[in-house]
C-alpha cells in the first residue's frame, strides 16, 4: 500500500523527519555523520515522492513567492561563491529541508503536525533528563560525543573546552552556575526544544487533544528543562511568546472594529514602552539573564562577520547554511573559548554575510508574510458557512507562536536558516498561504488520547 494511503506509515515518516530535524545533533553524536546522512537521504527520497504522487494537491504558484525567490537566490549564489564546493553541499541540505517542509505542509494537517512534534519533543526531553541523570549519578564526570564534530581535533587542546562536551555533568549544579545540555549537547538548543514543547503541550491541553493530567505533567517537564538550561535567549523568547499569546486572547475578545482598534493601540503602546524600558535598563536585564556585556562572546563574532559582509554587501559571499570548518574563511573566522564557531549567532547577520542585502530582504519578506498570515489565522474566526464562524481554538495559535519563538531566537542564533528553524518557517509559510487561498486548509484539532 502506498504511504499516502496508509495513515500509520505516513505518520511514521513525519516522526522520522522531525527527529532528524529536531534531534539532529543527538543522532550525529550517537551514530555518526554517515548514518545520519543515510537516514536524511531516505527522508528526502520519501518527501520528493510524496510531492510527486500528490502533485494534484499543490502547484508552484501555491508556494510563497519569497520562499521561491530565496531558494533561487541561494542556488544562483554558487556562481559567485567564494567556496563553491561548500555552497553545493549547503544547497543540498537546504533543498532537503525545503522539500521535506513542503511535503509536510501538503500532506499533513496542523493537528497531525502538532501531534507528531509533541511525540518527538517528549522523547527528546525525557531522554535528555535521563541522560543527564545517568551522567551525574553513575559516570560523575563530563563526557564527549561518541562521534566528533567536523573540524574538531581533541589532541590540539591541553584541556578540552566545556563547549565540546556532550554533557558537562552539571545537573546537580543547575541552581548555581550549571546548565544541562541533554542529548542535543547544547543548552540553548535544548532550551528551544523545551519551549517548543511548552507551546505544543499547552495547545494540546487547552484543546483537550490529550488528557489533562498528561498535559500538565509534560508542561512541568518542559518548564523544568527550561530552568535547567539557563538560556537567556530562551527566557526572552518565553516572555515574548507569553505576551503574544495574551495579545491574541485580547484581540479575540474585541468583537467590534472600534474595540479591536483600541486593543491594537494598547498593544502597540505596550510594545513601545517595553522597548524603551529594555533599552534604558539593558545592563540590568543582561545581569538578570546571566549574560555578560559582550553577550557571551557574541559581540566579537558579530564584528568579525560584519567585517566580511561589508566586503560583498549586495549579494554576499555565497550560500552555505552551516559554516564549513575546513573552508576559508570559516576555518579562522570566529572562535569562542578556543572552539571554532559554525554560525554567526544571528540569522540576519548570517544572511547578510552569505546572500547580501538582497538575501536579507527576500528572507525577511518570507518571514514577515508568514507572520502576518499566522496572526490572521490566530485572531480571525474561520468562516465555514455563510454568516457562520467557528469557535476559536488553541490549535490556531500554533503557527504564530512557533514563528515568534523562531524570530526571537534568530537574533542570537542562526537556526532559523537550518534544520528545524527553516523547516518550521517553510511549513508555516506554505500552510498559511494555502489556508488563505482555501479555508479548508485551516483544520480543527483532532481528539486523541495518549
Residue 448 pLDDT exceeds 50: no
359 located within any domain: yes
Residue 443 pLDDT exceeds 60: no
Which pLDDT does position 255 carry in this prediction?
85
Residue 108 pLDDT exceeds 70: yes
Q: Of 338 and 94, which is predicted with more confidence?
A: 94
78 located within any domain: yes
Q: Of 150 and 433, which is predicted with more confidence?
A: 433
Residue 286 pLDDT exceeds 90: no
Residue span of the structural domain in which 122 resides: 3-441
Beta strands in 274-404 (DSSP E): 335-336, 339-340, 383-385, 388-389
Average pLDDT of 225-254? 95
Beta strands in 222-366 (DSSP E): 335-336, 339-340
Residue 1 pLDDT exceeds 50: no
Write out the three cell numbers for 422. Answer: 527553516
303 located within any domain: yes
Write out the three cell numbers for 276. Answer: 524603551
Which pLDDT does position 387 carry in this prediction?
56
Residue 295 pLDDT exceeds 80: no
Closest CA to 435 of 106, 20, 16, 48: 106
Name residue, grid cell 468562516.
Answer: 383
Which pLDDT does position 177 carry in this prediction?
83
Give dist(CA 129, CA 123) in Å, integer: 10
Q: Could you give the number of structural domains in the chain? A: 1
Name residue, grid cell 508556494.
Answer: 63
210 located within any domain: yes
234 located within any domain: yes
Residue 244 pLDDT exceeds 80: yes
Which pLDDT does position 431 carry in this prediction?
96
Q: Report residue 7's pLDDT band, with 50, 70 and 90 as the boundaries.
A: confident
425 located within any domain: yes
User: Angle CA(380)–CA(384)–CA(388) in degrees, nearest 5?
Assistant: 75
Which pLDDT does position 437 carry in this prediction?
62
Give dist(CA 25, CA 342) in Å, integer: 13
Which pLDDT does position 449 carry in this prediction?
31
Do 171 and 180 meet the contact criterion of CB atoms below 8 Å apart?
yes
Closest CA to 190 of 174, 209, 211: 174
Give dist(CA 296, CA 163) in Å, integer: 12
327 located within any domain: yes
Give dist(CA 313, CA 277) in Å, integer: 33
Write out the three cell numbers for 296. Answer: 557571551
Closest CA to 433 of 108, 70, 58: 58
- Which range, 158-162, 286-290, 442-446, has the best average confidence (pLDDT)? 158-162
User: If 0-12 CB within 10 Å is exposed, 13-18 middle and 19+ buried, where does residue 280 land?
Assistant: exposed
Give dist(CA 196, CA 415) in Å, integer: 14
Q: Tell me the pLDDT tens digit for each residue of 174-212.
A: 888 899 999 999 999 999 999 999 999 999 999 999 999
Give dist(CA 324, CA 33) in Å, integer: 14
Q: What is the largest CA-CA distance in the chain?
A: 72
Name residue, grid cell 503602546.
Answer: 269
pTM of the model: 0.94
Which pLDDT does position 158 carry in this prediction?
86
Q: Report residue 2's pLDDT band, with 50, 70 and 90 as the boundaries.
A: low
Q: At what angle do helices 398-409 and 110-134 cross, to 10 degrees?
A: 50
Which pLDDT does position 388 carry in this prediction?
58
Residue 3 pLDDT exceeds 80: no
Give dist(CA 420, CA 108) in Å, integer: 17
Which pLDDT does position 293 carry in this prediction?
64
Name the β-bridge partners of 143.
Answer: 167
Buried b (16+ CB within 10 A) or exposed e, 196-222: bbbbbbbbbbebebbeeebbebbbebb
**Alpha helix positions (H), 135-231:** 187-206, 212-229
- Cβ neighbors of 427 (< 8 A, separation 6 or more) are 101, 104, 105, 113
Q: Of 81 and 334, which is predicted with more confidence?
A: 81
Give dist(CA 415, CA 176) in Å, integer: 28
Strand pairing category for 383-385 and 388-389: antiparallel
Q: Tell me the pLDDT tens digit for each residue of 271-285.
A: 999 999 988 888 888
Which pLDDT does position 389 carry in this prediction?
63
Report whether the peptide linkage leading into residue 309 is cis, meaning its omega lies within 30 degrees of zero.
Answer: no
Q: Tell me the pLDDT tens digit for each residue of 19-75.
A: 999 999 999 999 999 999 999 999 999 999 999 999 888 888 899 999 999 999 999
Which pLDDT does position 447 carry in this prediction?
35
Q: Average pLDDT of the chain?
A: 91
450 located within any domain: no
Write out the three cell numbers for 128. Answer: 535528555
Q: Tell me the pLDDT tens digit for each residue of 338-388.
A: 888 999 999 999 999 999 999 999 999 999 999 999 999 999 877 655 555
Amino acid at each position: 500500500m502506498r504511504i499516502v494511503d496508509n495513515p500509520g506509515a505516513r505518520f511514521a515518516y513525519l516522526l522520522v523527519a522531525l527527529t532528524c530535524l529536531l534531534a539532529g545533533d543527538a543522532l550525529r553524536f550517537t551514530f555518526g555523520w554517515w548514518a545520519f546522512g543515510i537516514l536524511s537521504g531516505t527522508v528526502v527520497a520519501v518527501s520528493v515522492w510524496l510531492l510527486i504522487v500528490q502533485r494534484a494537491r499543490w502547484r508552484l504558484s501555491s508556494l510563497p513567492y519569497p520562499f521561491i525567490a530565496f531558494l533561487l537566490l541561494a542556488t544562483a549564489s554558487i556562481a559567485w561563491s567564494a567556496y563553491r564546493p561548500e555552497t553545493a553541499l549547503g544547497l543540498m541540505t537546504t533543498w532537503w529541508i525545503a522539500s521535506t517542509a513542503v511535503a509536510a505542509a501538503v500532506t499533513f494537517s496542523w493537528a497531525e503536525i502538532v501531534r507528531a512534534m509533541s511525540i518527538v519533543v517528549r522523547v527528546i526531553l525525557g531522554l535528555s533528563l535521563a541522560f543527564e541523570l545517568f551522567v551525574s549519578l553513575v559516570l560523575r564526570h563530563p563526557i564527549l560525543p561518541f562521534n566528533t564534530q567536523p573540524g574538531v581535533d581533541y589532541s590540539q587542546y591541553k584541556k578540552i573546552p566545556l563547549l565540546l562536551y556532550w554533557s558537562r555533568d552539571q545537573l546537580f549544579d543547575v541552581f548555581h552556575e550549571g546548565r544541562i545540555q541533554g542529548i542535543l549537547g547544547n543548552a540553548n538548543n535544548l532550551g528551544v526544544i523545551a519551549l517548543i514543547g511548552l507551546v505544543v503541550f499547552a495547545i494540546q491541553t487547552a484543546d483537550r487533544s490529550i488528557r489533562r493530567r498528561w498535559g500538565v505533567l509534560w508542561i512541568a517537564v518542559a518548564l523544568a528543562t527550561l530552568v535547567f538550561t539557563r538560556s537567556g535567549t530562551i527566557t526572552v523568547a518565553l516572555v515574548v511568546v507569553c505576551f503574544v499569546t495574551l495579545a491574541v486572547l485580547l484581540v479575540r475578545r474585541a468583537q467590534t472594529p472600534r474595540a479591536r482598534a483600541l486593543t491594537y493601540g494598547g498593544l502597540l503602546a505596550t510594545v513601545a514602552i517595553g522597548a524603551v524600558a529594555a533599552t534604558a535598563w539593558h545592563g540590568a536585564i543582561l545581569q538578570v539573564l546571566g549574560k555578560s556585556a559582550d553577550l557571551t562572546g557574541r559581540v566579537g563574532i558579530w564584528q568579525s562577520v560584519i567585517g566580511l559582509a561589508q566586503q560583498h554587501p549586495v549579494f554576499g559571499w555565497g550560500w552555505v547554511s552551516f559554516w564549513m570548518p575546513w573552508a576559508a574563511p570559516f576555518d579562522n573566522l570566529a572562535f569562542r573559548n578556543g572552539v571554532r564557531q559554525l554560525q554567526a549567532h544571528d540569522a540576519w547577520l548570517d544572511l547578510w554575510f552569505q546572500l547580501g542585502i538582497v538575501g536579507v530582504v527576500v528572507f525577511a519578506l518570507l518571514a514577515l508574510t508568514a507572520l502576518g498570515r499566522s496572526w490572521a489565522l490566530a485572531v480571525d474566526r474561520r468562516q465555514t458557512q455563510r454568516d457562520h464562524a467557528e469557535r476559536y481554538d488553541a490549535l490556531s495559535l500554533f503557527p504564530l507562536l512557533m514563528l515568534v519563538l523562531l524570530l526571537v531566537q534568530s537574533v542570537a542564533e542562526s537556526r532559523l536558516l537550518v534544520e528545524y528553524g527553516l523547516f518550521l518557517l517553510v511549513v508555516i509559510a506554505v500552510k498559511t498561504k494555502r489556508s488563505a487561498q482555501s479555508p479548508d486548509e485551516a483544520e480543527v484539532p483532532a481528539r486523541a488520547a495518549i
